[in-house]
Amino acid sequence: MQQEYKFNYTIYNNLEELTAEDKQLVIAARDNTKNAFAPYSKFNVSAVAKMKSGNIYKATNQENASFPVGICAERALLSVISSYAPNEEIETLVVSYDNKNGKSNHPISPCGMCRQALVEYEGRTAGYKVIMTGQEGEIIILENAKSLLPFSFSSDDMK
């Protein structure tokens, strides 16, 4: 039996096509890349979440001389939210970057490990919109995090 997996996403040409709220959040995420600690890759990543409460939380990638010790911005952000606001629900999560060695003009999507974390967090709380953007150029908006990772592993698999 053949199955098909489909999900919806929207591509926007630039900031001006977004709602005022999303635009503000994207600007904040782009700006927050300056707080990354990425002396090794020079690839500054920022993740910013607007909660249903209206609160905003921010994080960045944090690298280490022992490379695997570094953590991506998205998982750093989920740790911040789960620690500071465990009862708040994410409404929108933005991922942006500033590539100090090259261009930052197209959206990046979270790495595989972060997708697993983002999907599980969505299941713990509620669905949230994911916005992917560089410093300029097209912006992609997904309706939820789970579309990023079909066949994700979950606690249900361990029952």
CB closer to ligand THU out of 62 and 125: 62
Comparison of 1 and 102: residue with beta carbon closer to ligand THU = 102
51 to 110, contacts with ligand THU by CB under 6 A? 61, 63, 70, 72-74, 110
Going by C-alpha positions, the residue among 79, 90, 81, 74 that lies closest to residue 123 is 90
Answer for which of 19, 79, 103, 111 binds ligand THU (CB under 6 A) is 111
Q: Which stretch binds ligand THU (CB under 6 A): 20-28, 38-46, 125-133, 147-155?
A: 38-46
Minimum Å distance from CB 128 to ligand THU?
16
Contact 139, 131 (CB under 8 A): yes
The CB-of-106 to ligand THU minimum distance in angstroms stands at 14
CA distance to 25, 88, 128, per residue, from 153 (Å): 30, 24, 19
Is 38 a binding residue for ligand THU by CB under 6 A? The answer is yes
Give yes or no: 138 in active site. Answer: no
Query: How far is C-alpha 113 from the chain's CA centre?
Result: 12
Instruction: Considering the candidates 74, 91, 136, 138, report the single residue annotated as catalytic.
Output: 74
CB of residue 27 vs ligand THU: minimum separation in angstroms? 19
Query: How many C-beta atoms surround the C-beta of residue 126 within 10 A?
Result: 12
The answer to the question of residue 116 lying near ligand THU (CB under 6 A) is: no
| Binding region for ligand THU (CB under 6 A) | 38, 41, 43, 45, 61, 63, 70, 72-74, 110-111, 114
Residues noted as catalytic: 74
